[in-house]
Amino acid sequence: MAEVLNSVVDSIGGTPLVRLDRLTAQAGVDGAILAKLEYLNPGFSKKDRAALGIIEEAERSGAIKPGQTVVELTSGNMGTGLAIICAVRGYPFVAVMSKGNSEERARMMTALGAEVILVDQLPGSVPGQVSGGDLALVEQAARAVVAERGAYRADQFHRDGNWLAHYHGTGPEIWDASHGAVDAFVDFIGSGGTYAGVARALKERNPLIQCFIVEPEGAAAAAGETVTRPEHPIQGGGYAMPDLAFLNNAPVDGYLQVSGDEAREATRLLARSEGIFGGFSSGANVAAALRLLRGDQSGRTIAVVICDSGLKYLSTDLWS
């Protein structure tokens, strides 16, 4: 029986796992895709889990003091999750974000009580396409704010609370809901936290499950490829960073690259065929799963994460 929760924070996690049978039928592939609907978290993304994991880790260790300001760089999703948790837990929150990210993300964080600092992109960068170089400018700004305000840095690229939230939550939830009937898992990487946590959890339960990292075409640094196109429209990841801490010793069976066009079309197909209104990276995951089902994973079952909501991309070309 459902119970009354003490706060919206207690609603994070436990998202549904849904078969995408209409989508696979329309795509003409043999096999199944199981979609973990992380966009149904209160901040409309999977990053709510990581944000909660990082703050709870800091509280347990004493790294954060009551009422201390929290600062983090964000493409919008981690910042939204942190804004929610900080509002409930009583921490002022400052989000530092590139101007290349969609404007609705900044508006949402502001509405949730965050102070939002927007950082200019590199000269020549395209709005809506945030590169690793753009993110480096955001990192510099975030460090400056931390120093100025004596703040706690949430640091989603290094705090273990990020990947552990998916190791203890998302991964086991996929396993339990599917009764272990998963053959592969694909994930478009940003910090690598979701991939590392879910892959480790699934592999511990069945080492035969194959796990694939997904990156943008032309920016597949984790796969060891030369970065030729660091700018791409798949916001929230694909930063062409070859040394992501969470991927150290994480199990990887292969690497897949998807184009912005593939991600866009898969996102739109997901909405039309399944009524699932996901964002760009959700489409990247679905596109990667479809490619596997057209190849050596034909007839098998692939798990994906629907990372965030399409509502965060209404000002972009995703829906135009």
Spell out the domain ranges in the chain. Answer: 8-45+166-313, 47-153
| pTM of the model as a whole | 0.95
Residue pair 78/51 in contact by the 8 Å Cβ criterion: yes
Q: Along the 320 residues of the chain, how does pLDDT read in single tens digits?
A: 689 999 999 999 999 999 999 999 999 999 999 999 999 999 999 999 999 999 999 999 999 999 999 999 998 999 999 999 999 999 999 999 999 988 999 999 999 999 999 999 999 888 888 888 898 999 999 999 999 999 999 999 999 999 999 999 999 999 999 999 999 999 999 999 999 999 999 999 999 999 999 999 999 999 999 999 888 888 888 888 889 999 999 999 999 999 999 999 999 999 999 999 999 999 999 999 999 999 999 999 999 999 999 999 999 999 98
Q: How far is CA 207 from the centre of its chain?
A: 24
Sheet holding 17-19, edge to edge: 17-19, 32-37, 301-306, 184-188, 210-216, 254-258
Q: Give 288's Cβ-side CA count (13 Å radius).
A: 32
Tokens of 83: 């804004």
Tokens of 16: 């549904």
How many of the other CB atoms lie within 10 Å of CB of 300? 16
Antiparallel, parallel or unpaired: β 254-258 and 17-19 = unpaired
Question: Among the options 102, 281, 282, 309, which is catalytic?
Answer: 281
**Fold match, 8-45+166-313 / 47-153:** yes
8-45+166-313 under CATH 3.40.50.1100, yes or no: yes
Residue pair 285/305 in contact by the 8 Å Cβ criterion: yes
For domain 47-153, give its CATH number from 3.30.2010.10, 3.40.30.10, 3.40.50.1100, 3.30.310.80: 3.40.50.1100
Question: Among the options 47, 98, 125, 131, which is catalytic?
Answer: 47
- Known catalytic membership, residue 281: yes
- Known catalytic membership, residue 47: yes
User: Which 8-state DSSP code applies to residue 170?
Assistant: I
